[in-house]
Amino acid sequence: MSVLLLSASLQPVNVISRRRLIILLSKQRVALMDTEAELEALAALEGRRFTEGVMVVRLLRNIHVPRRMLRPNRRNLLLRDDHTCQYCGHVGPASDLTIDHVVPVSRGGEADSWENQVVACRHCNWRKANRRPEEVGLRLRRRPTPLTQEYAHILFLRYPELKAAYDALLAA
Ligand SMILES: [Zn+2]
């Protein structure tokens, strides 16, 4: 089950774990958006299992919620780069796309950083091989930066079921 946490003014803040939800509930920091959610939360507090589905909760006051750091893994890099080759602009299914180290690891580039990894199509990756982009006439379309979870659209890309629940809530 996914739990979407909203600010007091109903802006998406984060997706939180069930454990975190239970802590917030027990400190009476959050309110639930509907009766069904309330029953689920009571069950959770009593130690019973959550059912599958989506839960939306709202902070009663805006408090600091630690953001989860996202890892620069393949899935997150594809999200950050919009499934787009950062050299030629080709957009394709994930199966067509590779992850390229801008400065090859063999030449001192960081293996596991947001800044040194981009999405590249097979063709560009093959063309670039073990070289720096400028050596083969390739240019990055934008500077690679870390993906953060602060933006609602990133949350909703990762958790489309929460987007539906949020839209339904706003429409109600
Ligand atoms: Zn390309």
Dump pLDDT digits (tens) for 113-161. Answer: 999 999 999 999 999 999 999 999 999 999 998 876 555 667 787 788 8
For ion ligand 1, residues whose CB falls within 5 Å = 85, 87-88, 90, 121, 124
**Of 18, 65, 13, residue with least CA distance to 37:** 18
- Is the domain covering 74-136 a CATH 3.40.50.150 domain? no
The vertex-93 CA angle with 87 and 99, nearest 5°, equals 45
Stated pTM of the model: 0.57
Query: CA 24 to CA 169: how far, in whole Å?
Result: 21
Locate the domains of the chain by residue range: 2-68+153-171, 74-136
AA letter at 126: W
Cα(102) to centroid(ligand 1), Å: 13
